[in-house]
Chain A
Amino acid sequence: MVFSSLIFLFRFLPMALLLLFLTPKKYRNLLLFTLSLIFYAWGEVRYIFIMFISVVLDYFTSQGIKKYQHHPWIPKAMLMISIVGNLGMLFFFKYLGFVGSLFSLDLPTLTLPLGISFYTFQTMSYTIDVYRGKVEAEDNIIDFGAFVCLFPQLIAGPIVKYSQIAYELKHRVLTMDKFESGLKLFLLGLASKVLLANNIGMMWDDIIRLPISSLSTVTAWLGTMAFGFQIYFDFSGYSLMAIGLGSMLGFNFPQNFNYPYISKSMTEFWNRWHMTLGSWFKEYVYIPLGGNRKGTTRQIFNLLIVWFLTGFWHGAAFNFILWGLFFFVLLTIEKLVLFRWLNQHPFLSRLYFIFFILIGWAVFAISDLTLLSQYLTAMFALQSSNQWIYFISNYGVVLLFCLIFSTDIPKKIVRSVTFPALETSMVTMLFLFSIAYLVDSSYNPFLYFRF
């Protein structure tokens, strides 16, 4: 099930909230676990077994680590089982078809289980943390199951580490204040997805469907801009909905996006974009590899590994690998020479950032490499036509909204005028418009089916 659907908003969520508030604290995690399984099974009943495997695998390996913590090799073996199990599942469902195609094997492409890239990372981090002694292994399999399957962030993040919500799993309190602020975040996230992302996504959809030979340069840039806005408002909207739902249920989930498009460098961008993924790779890949503590050459090698994996994590195709390596190159250059200069030139650095991030989005968005190279050529071919008049006149206002809401200006304005009645009516209005777009939905894609 996805959040941006009437079935979630007007069937699942009201029912879930009602039940959770009525159930005694003792049974809440069992209920949450069950509800999350229903939520997950809605899209693909068969894959519910993966959920069970995930829960059982990491529960027992962690218990093993805990029980034999002084044993010379059992904890390590348990950790290995967990990592191989999790990555094995991920590989089987997500990468097998791709790797097979490299060796021209015609393996059947499986439907990717929703959110598998997110929850395998989450459960792995748990077992690793237990192994490292950072967290205590969870004894109650129901509580642990509730953590693994937690429906608010199950399918599109944020990637929540067990250590971040271990306390809340047992001792969370539901308060009206948290519910109110969570509800607001949820509705803002919903509006971000349904009103901004979907509307600007239609522009990208139009442009990528045009015959590539007739694509003018301006239109090509407008296209990748539209895609950049779509994925931002979609993804951050989803995270916001997750964080909001979490708060309504008594959890505090970590922030995942922090106005990435106001960055002045790629380094800054990655500190503001999908922050929980970045910190996951940092904590579980970059630092274990030695980070920056083993000299510059080794650091660059470590960065290469991290960015290859980051790219590949986003999808099993060459363009995602390219996309990761693209950032590796830029981030390395920034680290070695450019970073100080960028920070001293706020205007030029933004121009630099926007130029490269838009090229990056083209690479991300187009998986067909021939089409990608044609698209990139169109971005620099200086071909003109009057197509852009249509796109600007049709999507100009939406683009403007996207531009404004990708900066922190609206937030600053809202902070300076605190007038609750106004805020409530604004958010309610956004909700009404979101419902209208969901009822008459001709375009409501789910973007993370490849993640």
Chain B
Amino acid sequence: MFKKHPLTAVISLLAVLILMFDFLGPTRVFSTYENRYLTQRPSLKWEDIVDGKWMLTYEEFINDQFMFRDGWISLKSLSERILMKKENNGILFGKEGYLFEKLLELNEQTSLNLRYLAEFEKLVTAPLTSMIIPNSYAILPQYLPKGSPLLDQLLLIEKWDRSLNLLRIESQLLNNNQNQLYYKNDHHWTLEGAYVAYTMLCEQWNIQPLPYESFSIEYTPDFLGTYYAKAKPSKIIPDRLAFIDPKIQAYRIGDQTFSSIIDRTKLSTHDKYGAFLHGNIGLSTVIVNETEKPTRLLVIKDSYANSLIPFLVSHFDEVVIVDLRHFSGSLSTVMQTNSFDQILFIQNFSNFISDAHLAKLRY
């Protein structure tokens, strides 16, 4: 058979091998390599078959549970390198190990979100500061592959600011971009990046910012975030995750109360950024000082704020944090049950242009 029909022999052997592994091998729940949950075998339901949902999930299941999945992913990234591609899975390989999101266009959601935010600015009675934080490539263009035709975030933020009332920090970020303001392997800014925003906010709120050195900063090595999980670059230059664990009275999520805003158990996992604020939670409250009449800050945010909030807590008695993507309640209830001295809306550019949850700003 190998002599007369070699291809049939080889491919059949390969197919049998793959099928055997597929049927006998274990079903994985989480892929640490990709940092995401994998699709599980869907249960057979007649209505799911009729509307085609079962087929779609089953295909995802086959893909996600494919034998040696991680190996195939590495083979693909090897092939992309052979093809001398400057990217993989929508992540650009920048210079000095920087990975960047390949963001080419706005979204149909963008104009809606701009409107929601503008309406929100008019609606709130407490003093509001809104910020749209540019992503790493916009602040670190020197590390981008030449000619990268990415969205001009700075230009767009400037344009949007004409109809919004944004606290702009792009030039401060650009001025400080010799520091590591963004992670190389993750879509977030670093503590240093967030500190730039912190000083600007203090100026806005007329409070004295504390110097960076006065915070007790801790580090965890080998941080490989979301960009890395998608891009699988050949040369791995891990980041060092920096975090602050400020002294607080309590951190409340629903009925649960924690003594710290940092979930240290996450630091040893692949989801290191999940340590901040115990992950992205719909509604949580940091009690800094328990007083009769607390000064209160409301932060409506995405995960960029997770490294900014530790700087802010020392200036308020209470910080209420709402992540609209995970928030099922209503914003008006939050606004009515508490009085706020300051409200901060903060999202990163990439999330802001596509976040489908900002309609909740219309409370």
Which A positions have Cβ atoms within 8 angstroms of B? 5-7, 10-11, 14, 42-46, 176-177, 179-180, 183-184, 187, 199, 206, 209-211, 214, 219, 385-391, 393-398, 401, 420-421, 423-424, 427-428, 431-433, 435-442
Contact = CB atoms under 8 A, between A and B. Distances in A.
Contacts of A6: 59, 62-63, 66
A421 B83 CA distance: 25
Nearest to B74: A436
Interface string B181-205: 0000000000000000000000000
A112 to B, nearest CB: 15
B147 A390 contact: yes
Nearest to A179: B8
Nearest to A427: B7
Contacts of A5: 59
A440 B76 contact: yes
Q: Is the interface of B mostly helix, strand, loop or mixed?
A: helix
B11 A387 contact: no
B161 to A, nearest CB: 19
A216 B165 CA distance: 34
B84 A396 contact: yes
B75 A433 contact: yes
Interface stretch (B15-23, B132-140, B240-248): B15-23
Interface string B1-37: 0001111101100110011001000000000000000
Contacts of B105: 209-211
B177 to A, nearest CB: 21
A436 B19 contact: no
A395 B51 CA distance: 39
Given A6-B62, A187-B11, A397-B84, A436 B149 contact: no
Interface in B32-68: 49-52, 55, 58-59, 62-63, 66
B253 interface: no
B302 interface: no
Contact of B62 (A11, A14, A180, A389): A11
A14 B82 CA distance: 31
B234 to A, nearest CB: 15
B90 interface: yes
Nearest to A205: B104
Nearest to A9: B15
Nearest to B3: A420
B146 A390 contact: yes
Contacts of A209: 104-105
A43 B55 contact: yes
Contacts of A179: 5, 8
Contacts, number: 126
A46 B47 CA distance: 12
A434 to B, nearest CB: 10
Contacts of B52: 43-45
Q: Which 9 A-B pairs have the closest CB atoms?
A: A389-B147, A390-B147, A439-B72, A436-B75, A436-B76, A386-B147, A424-B6, A180-B5, A440-B76
B89 A440 contact: yes
B8 A420 contact: no
B55 A393 contact: no
Interface size grouping (class) on chain B: 35 or more
B5 A206 contact: no
B73 interface: yes
Interface string B90-104: 100000000000001
Contacts of B6: 420-421, 424
Contacts of B58: 7
Given A5-B59, A398-B83, A180 B7 contact: yes
A436 B66 contact: no
22 contacts: A5-B59, A10-B15, A10-B66, A44-B52, A45-B51, A183-B7, A187-B7, A187-B11, A209-B105, A210-B104, A210-B105, A211-B105, A219-B149, A388-B147, A390-B145, A391-B149, A393-B84, A394-B86, A394-B87, A431-B14, A436-B76, A442-B90
A440 B72 contact: yes
B148 interface: yes
Given A10-B62, A44-B52, A435 B72 contact: yes
A53 B51 CA distance: 21
B147 A45 contact: no
B63 A441 contact: yes
A50 to B, nearest CB: 15
A14 B90 CA distance: 33
B19 A10 contact: yes
B79 interface: yes
A435 B62 CA distance: 12
Contacts of B115: none
Given A199-B83, A394-B85, A428 B11 contact: yes
A304 to B, nearest CB: 39
A397 B83 CA distance: 6
Given A206-B104, A386-B146, A390-B148, A431 B11 contact: yes
Contacts of A441: 63
B79 A436 contact: yes
A428 B7 CA distance: 8
A14 B12 CA distance: 9
Nearest to A248: B8
B62 A7 contact: yes
Interface in B108-148: 145-148
B69 interface: yes
A433 B55 contact: no
Nearest to A42: B55
Given A179-B8, A183-B7, A389-B147, 19 more contacts: A7-B62, A10-B18, A45-B49, A176-B8, A180-B7, A183-B8, A187-B11, A206-B104, A209-B105, A387-B147, A388-B147, A390-B148, A397-B83, A421-B6, A428-B11, A431-B11, A435-B72, A436-B72, A439-B72
A440 B73 contact: yes
Contacts of A219: 149
Nearest to B71: A436
A203 to B, nearest CB: 10
B73 A436 contact: yes
Nearest to B83: A397
Contacts of B145: 390, 393-394
Contacts of B8: 176, 179-180, 183
Contacts of A176: 4-5, 8
B46 to A, nearest CB: 11
A47 to B, nearest CB: 10
B22 A10 contact: yes
Given A179-B5, A206-B149, A390 B22 contact: no
Nearest to B102: A206
Contacts of B59: 5-7
Contacts of A437: 76, 79
